[in-house]
Amino acid sequence: MSKNIDKSFLFSEEMEFLFESVFDKLPIAIDILDAEGNIRMINKTFLDYLGLEKDKVINKYVLDVDRNSRFPLVLKTGQNEIAYRHKFANGKEAIVHRIAIKDGDEVIGGFGMILFEDLNELRKLIEKNRLLETELEHYKKTLRKIHGAKYSWENIIGKSDAIVECKKKAMKMANMDSNILIYGESGVGKELFAHAIHNSSKRRDYPFVTVNCAAIPEQLMESELFGYEEGAFTGAQKGGKIGKFELANHGTIFLDEIGDMPYTMQAKLLRVLQEGEIERVGGKAPIKVDVRVISATNKDLSKLVKEGKFRSDLFYRINVLMLNVPPLRERKEDIPLLIDHFLSLLTQNSGIYKKVSKEVYDILEKYDWPGNIRELRNVIERMVVNSEGDIIRKTDIPLYILKKELPVRKKGSGLQEMLEEFEKEIIFETLKECNYNKSQAAEILKIPRSRLYRKLKKFGILEENNEVK
């Protein structure tokens, strides 16, 4: 049932009291007219704008106060005029609303209001807004470049049935908008798939933000993911910090190594996925976010669920779609293609041009590649750097692949070089054995972890960010 305002209320003392006590103090110019066009109430802001005293206005016919007013027309027709440009008799230009107040069909009065007091100010505002929008667009683009996905389907090399099937499945998933869990052994290309999926999804023009759940210390995880407000804790940055989820808004967040997400964080992550909103650390109100989650793991999450290490409710939320990336040993026909691909990447990046002998292709194709494509890539890079001449031969293949117990003495190498080579082999093989877990490798080798890191950096196995290449 719609309620009507009746005339006796509109022009009652209560209404006048309300007008004076509330509306007089508003910084917006407003007035109320009766059906005949007499100004019955007007606030101080409006009077100041007109430059008139109240007694020169109140109960006067509107055209006697402002000869340009269109209110008589509005009161006659009952047609509201919203955001009209109006030039007052005093020469000032503004944007105004004129609204007919009705009791049923009968016009019983009028409500006037100035939306923008000064058209020049409005023009400036619009111009400023336009500049800000251009600037914003620029920053959005830059951000997209930084947080964009780097790889697409063409970067995923392979013609084996296994990888072709996997790509097809992933392409289908890209067109849906559900969360995806990518499962696969270390180095199979999970990250590559995550990039390519985002890049061909409807979210491709928005950010792709990666979070390595294993690399962020537990106590920093919440603020990394959800951000924090200024003063949330000691050492908090001025102005606060935006979290990865907010950064990824409308795009995709890639939660790499999700199996390493601390248990307490899992509950918080679950809430975000359920509610579609995040809460900054020290923040007062939740913030809506629209983010697709792609997670990746090389751990058996259902096993972790059974062991009570991973929340089952979170597992179901992230695992709406599941993509299994096959290990390299199950698609050996891709090995020659991948070798060529990595050689040509090296040529592009460093200008070094080398070929691989037939024998080398054969040996590398037979090997089982427990470290998958990452290991293959490493081996190619090391062979390219270490080999002499422009052909890579059998003697350039790392010994652990050739399954020799001891290094052969290479022509021209001194003892130091040979020892280093041997050390490299041992470290590399140990790393591979424990799935590139550096702490475990250090333990097996009985050396401190820091020493292992130093050696890995020296051998070029470890990158600056401490990731195994």
Ligand X SMILES: Nc1ncnc2c1ncn2[C@@H]1O[C@H](COP(=O)(O)OP(=O)(O)OP(=O)(O)O)[C@@H](O)[C@H]1O
Residues whose CB is less than 8 angstroms from the CB of residue 26 and which lie 6 or more positions away in sequence, other chains included:
43, 45
CA angle 246, 256, 156 (to 5 degrees): 110
Contact pick of 377, 382, 432, 455 for ligand X (by CB under 6 A): 377
d(C-alpha 42, C-alpha 462), whole Å: 75
Smallest distance, ligand X to C-beta of residue 187, A: 5
Residue 209 backbone dihedrals phi, psi, to 5 degrees: -115, 125
Q: Which does 374 bind (CB under 5 to 8 A by kind): Mg ion, ligand X, none?
A: ligand X
Residue 158 binds ligand X, judged by CB under 6 A: yes
Q: How many residues does the chain have?
A: 469
Residue type at position 291? V
* Residue 305 or 337 having the CB closest to ligand X: 337
31 is an interface residue for Mg ion by CB under 5 A: no
Binding mask 100-119 for ligand X (x = CB under 6 A): --------------------
Q: Quick one: which segment of 187-195, 213-221, 224-232, 438-446 binds ligand X (CB under 6 A)?
A: 187-195
Restricting to residues 152-191, which ones interact with Mg ion according to CB under 5 A? 191
**Nearer residue to ligand X within complex by CB, 60 or 167:** 167
For residues 211 to 250, the per-residue mask of contacts with Mg ion, x marking binding by CB under 5 A and - elsewhere, is: ----------------------------------------
Shortest Å, Cβ 192 to ligand X: 4
Which is closer to ligand X, CB of 374 or CB of 455? 374
- Tell me if 192 contacts ligand X by CB under 6 A: yes
* Residue 244: contacted member of ligand X, Mg ion, none (CB under 5 to 8 Å, by partner type): none
Residue 273, CA distances (Å) to 30, 45, 289 in order? 46, 48, 10
321-354 burial: b if 16+ Cβ within 10 Å, else e:
bebebbbbeebbebbeebbebbbeebeeeeeeeb
User: Among the residues of 147-241, which ranges form H helices?
Assistant: 161-175, 190-199, 218-226
**Cα gap 291→321, rounded to integer Å:** 15
Nearest distance from C-beta of residue 133 to Mg ion, angstroms: 37
Q: Is the dihedral of CA 22, 25, 26, 31 positive or negative?
A: positive
The residues of the shown chain that bind ligand X, judged by CB under 6 A, are 156-158, 184, 186-192, 298, 341, 373-374, 377
